[in-house]
Amino acid sequence: MEGYSVIGERLPRVDAKEKVTGGAKYAADYSLPGMLWCKLLRSPYAHARILSIDTSRAEKLRGVRGVVTGKDFGGWTWGWMLTTRDEPPLAVDKVRYLAEAVAGVAAIDEDIAEEATELIKVDYEELPGVFDPEEAMKEGAPKVHDYVKNNISAEYHWNFGDVEKAFAQSYIVREDKFRTSRATKGYLEPPAILACYDPAGYITVWAAKQSPYFLYRHLAACFKLPLSKVRIVQPFIGGGFGGTKNDSLAGDFCSVLLSKMTGKPVKYVESQEEELMTSRRRHNMIVYSKMGVNKDGTLTAIHHRVIADGGGYTAIGPMSLYLAGIATTLPYKLPNFKYDGYRAFTNNPIQAAMRGHGITHTRFAAEIQMDMIAEELRIDPVEIRMRNAIEKPKPGTIYETINKVTLKTCGLKEAIQEVSEDPIWRDRDKMSKKEGDVSWGVGLSCAPYLGGARLLGHQSCAATVRICEDGTVNLITGATDCGQGSDTVLCMIAAEELGINVKDIELKRVDTAYTPVDPGSWGSRVTLLAGQATQIAAREAKKKLLEVAAKEWQVKPEEIEIRGGKAFIKSDPGRSIPFERLARMACYSGTGAVILGTGYSGYGLEPSGLTSGFGNPGISYSFTAQSAKVGVDLETGKIIVTDFTIASDCGRLLNPITAEGQIEGASIQGLGQTIYEDFIMDRGKTLNPTFLDYKMPFSMDVPNIKLIDIVTDDPDGPFGAKEASEGSIVSAPPAIVSAIHHATGVWMKELPVTPERIWRALKEKPGDKK
């Protein structure tokens, strides 16, 4: 791309060769001599008191080396905030969801470990459970945690402007109830860990974590060790998408404790069925949405009352609830906004973060409601969005929402324009509407998403660039690539800044003994924050190299540039030396210093108001507009999705291949949660905990995807970049549901839109008796 040598190039991933040859090692691929296998015993009840646990028969089984129960962790509990440390590594007195782990076994092989878990006898007293979040909040409902009133795990009440007055003055006010599905991340690699507790008092683990520094803190606290003695080595990660691979799991704590007890390495690999039964899923939320507009369709006010099913423990739930509220003042101009959010404990599995975190629920509700209002007012869906869309702030100015979310760039209007001119939308009234039993429709939606999220207490994010004497470079960060391509992009940032080729940069994956602390992979933060840290570190290393060259050439450092692997005098490019030689000079005839550059990210450090709803959840915001074309079989309710056109303002794409892959992949995850994906629950039991029964999109199910790139160059982001991945998981569901309405005339307000739901809705459609 113009002005840059590396940024903007369609370069292959730096780890691509290892991934296509089978050489990339994931946590379950590691083994050590003498290693034991850990298996967990899980509760058959969703809510029960544990009266006693007898492990004696398991301990006597030949090949068993250790058994642990909840009491062995000495009452230690953990959680995301100081006030929410409610989760023990293994259940102690009570189980709060079905399949919560109650005991762990280490044995010489997996079969024996499995058999031993079946020999553990647990006496339970089953308790009445509560499985619906609205029921859970009622007076007298069974209590999931004794200390919590009405099972309310978190609640937020924000009121910006004057919604009541605005509703009273609105031309139309609509009230609708929406519900989102129980979706899961669906990565193929189940959680796994290989743990070694050295008798000298330090822990080393290889674990499938997208945010290894969470586990680092948890293990130090649980085993009462200083952080300097906890070493998390990050293998390749087989997909993350939030939730489970951010948090620590029973298998993690048990493997480490069993290793401590036995003196042997212990490996734990969760089965996909255990994962699907117990993993931290996306919250399913009920959204009561009240929206007011003027006669011209411009928004006057939104009031969202959200009820989230939290499951048995807090986990990161308060953050999910915060995000469900915070972004409702984007991507449209909204003068009045009220939010009442509740997260209720139930005896369902724990619900937590997933890509599109929090925002997907309320955006789904608001986008569909806006379409309903447009229909009522006979305003075109594009037109109502253009009238409401936040404009692009003039360079140097800031747009501020009513709750003080600020943005410096916004390409939304351009994105809507592009999508509306694309043939899929443009021809929506010209296409053949009906072919046999299939009726066709096209829908449109918009979405904002935050990038560069900061969480309370998780600010530190650094990079070191180390110049080797042969001119190659080690890039050392605490960032984790769980598939999104950030390792590649960070190497590209370093290469661009240093003026060398990407192949000369070697990125070292996280090893908490050597890499700097980092928050992890969530909130679309890695490329922006670790990217900025890398940029600063590379500039510092470069500065030191320029000083060496300047001394050699008897000029000022500012007179020298490094590009294309060569240092040269700007006014006399003929005077140049290869980067490799400059590095050697710096190392051998320099000051004695090793050439190291360090940097840390300083973006977005102002505190955000988790409880007040004021302020920024991230450093910048992506904006997406997308269309979707669907066919609905009016006899069977079956939906096929044939086309997506997605226009994304991601600032600037640092590597188009990886960014496109993120947008495409997220949109297909969005497709899954719109029309297939849902855990079917029966009193806390997940009835479909396998990939056979929990349906995700396969290659035959996915539409053709056309991407349109809107470049805005945000000043707060390395080379103008913003997030690229979470926007399209938010835009896909309302676009599809709006297309289903165009095809059938029915509004589907509950996800997923299964064939059965469509079929029922069509039967109930007024004036359309079948």
Question: With CB under 8 A as the contact rule, which of the stretches 239-247, 614-622, 624-632, 756-764 interacts with another protein?
Answer: 239-247
Spatial CB neighbours of 158, under 8 Å, sequence gap ≥ 6: 325, 337, 338, 339, 403, 612, 613
- Tell me: does residue 669 bind another protein (CB under 8 A): yes
Q: How far is the CB of 326 from another protein (least distance, A)?
A: 27
Structural contact between residues 234 and 509, judged by C-beta atoms closer than 8 angstroms: yes
3-state secondary structure of 456: coil
Per CB under 8 A, the list member of 41, 359, 668, 735 interacting with another protein is 668
- Tell me: does residue 599 bind another protein (CB under 8 A): no
Whole-angstrom distance, CA of residue 714 vs CA of residue 722: 7
> H or E stretch including 360?
helix 359-377
Q: How far is the CB of 630 from another protein (least distance, A)?
A: 16
- Tell me: does residue 9 bind another protein (CB under 8 A): no
In the chain, count of helices (H) and strands (E)? 19, 33
- Tell me: does residue 38 bind another protein (CB under 8 A): no
CA 508 to chain centre: 23
- Tell me: does residue 235 bind another protein (CB under 8 A): no
DSSP string, 196-218: EEETTTEEEEEE--SSHHHHHHH
- Tell me: does residue 209 bind another protein (CB under 8 A): no
- Tell me: does residue 191 bind another protein (CB under 8 A): no
Q: How far is the CB of 447 from another protein (least distance, A)?
A: 16
- Tell me: does residue 237 bind another protein (CB under 8 A): yes
Whole-angstrom distance, CA of residue 578 vs CA of residue 500: 10
Q: How far is the CB of 643 from another protein (least distance, A)?
A: 12
With respect to another protein, which residue has the nearer C-beta, 131 or 187? Answer: 187
With respect to another protein, which residue has the nearer C-beta, 185 or 385? Answer: 185
Q: How far is the CB of 154 from another protein (least distance, A)?
A: 29
- Tell me: does residue 108 bind another protein (CB under 8 A): no
With respect to another protein, which residue has the nearer C-beta, 70 or 483? Answer: 483
With respect to another protein, which residue has the nearer C-beta, 235 or 618? Answer: 235
Residue 96 vs residues 150, 353, 733: alpha-carbon distances, Å: 15, 19, 31
- Tell me: does residue 699 bind another protein (CB under 8 A): yes
Q: How far is the CB of 640 from another protein (least distance, A)?
A: 13
Alpha-carbon Rg for the chain, nearest whole angstrom, is 27
Q: How far is the CB of 603 from another protein (least distance, A)?
A: 25
With respect to another protein, which residue has the nearer C-beta, 44 or 661? Answer: 661
CA proximity to 2, closest of 662, 652, 661, 543: 652
Q: How far is the CB of 402 from another protein (least distance, A)?
A: 35
SS3 assignment for 113-179: HHHHHHHCEEEEEECCCCCCHHHHCCCCCCCCCCCCHHHEEEEEEEEECCHHHHHHHCCEEEEEEEE
> From the CB of residue 159, how many other CB atoms can be counted at a distance below 10 Å?
15
Instruction: Give the position of tokens 């043939």.
Output: 423
- Tell me: does residue 63 bind another protein (CB under 8 A): no
Binders in 743-762 for another protein, by CB under 8 A: none
- Tell me: does residue 485 bind another protein (CB under 8 A): yes
Paired tokens of 118 = 């079946």
Residue 109 vs residues 38, 186, 251: alpha-carbon distances, Å: 9, 28, 16
Per CB under 8 A, the list member of 72, 115, 189, 504 interacting with another protein is 189
> H or E stretch including 572?
strand 572-578
- Tell me: does residue 664 bind another protein (CB under 8 A): yes
With respect to another protein, which residue has the nearer C-beta, 186 or 718? Answer: 186
Question: With CB under 8 A as the contact rule, which of the stretches 7-15, 170-178, 394-402, 628-636 interacts with another protein?
Answer: 7-15
* Strand partners for 309: 344
Instruction: Give the position of tokens 């590597």.
Output: 655
Question: With CB under 8 A as the contact rule, which of the stretches 414-422, 521-529, 652-660, 748-756 interacts with another protein?
Answer: 652-660
Whole-angstrom distance, CA of residue 163 vs CA of residue 62: 68
- Tell me: does residue 503 bind another protein (CB under 8 A): no
Q: How far is the CB of 16 from another protein (least distance, A)?
A: 4
SS3 assignment for 234-274: CCECCCCCCHHHCCCCHHHHHHHHHHHHHCCCEEEECCHHH
- Tell me: does residue 296 bind another protein (CB under 8 A): no
Spatial CB neighbours of 457, under 8 Å, sequence gap ≥ 6: none
Binders in 252-281 for another protein, by CB under 8 A: 269, 271-273
With respect to another protein, which residue has the nearer C-beta, 369 or 521? Answer: 521
Q: How far is the CB of 621 from another protein (least distance, A)?
A: 23
With respect to another protein, which residue has the nearer C-beta, 222 or 507? Answer: 507
In our burial notation (b when 16+ CB lie closer than 10 A, e otherwise), range 160-188 reads bbebeebbeebeebeeeebebbbbbbbbe
Binding residues with another protein: total (CB under 8 A)? 57
Question: With CB under 8 A as the contact rule, which of the stretches 422-430, 469-477, 579-587, 687-695 interacts with another protein?
Answer: 687-695
Spatial CB neighbours of 738, under 8 Å, sequence gap ≥ 6: 367, 368, 371, 381, 443, 444, 445, 628
Residue 229 main-chain phi, psi, to 5 deg: -105, 15
- Left if phi > 0, otherwise alpha if psi is -120 to 50, otherwise beta: which for 74? left
Site string for another protein, 465-484 (x = CB under 8 A): -----------------xxx
Give the number of C-alpha atoms closer than 13 A to the C-alpha of residue 345, restricted to the C-beta side: 25
With respect to another protein, which residue has the nearer C-beta, 45 or 241? Answer: 241
Per CB under 8 A, the list member of 156, 241, 332, 449 interacting with another protein is 241
With respect to another protein, which residue has the nearer C-beta, 360 or 620? Answer: 360
Q: How far is the CB of 579 from another protein (least distance, A)?
A: 25
Paired tokens of 564 = 């294309």
- Tell me: does residue 20 bind another protein (CB under 8 A): yes
Whole-angstrom distance, CA of residue 761 vs CA of residue 753: 10
With respect to another protein, which residue has the nearer C-beta, 23 or 564? Answer: 23
- Tell me: does residue 727 bind another protein (CB under 8 A): no
Per CB under 8 A, the list member of 1, 4, 18, 437 interacting with another protein is 18
Per CB under 8 A, the list member of 169, 503, 690, 760 interacting with another protein is 690
Q: How far is the CB of 238 from another protein (least distance, A)?
A: 3
CA proximity to 174, closest of 369, 383, 366, 445: 369
What residues make contact with another protein under the rule CB under 8 A? 12-13, 15-26, 28-29, 185-190, 236-241, 269, 271-273, 482-485, 657-658, 660-662, 664-669, 690-692, 696-700, 702, 705
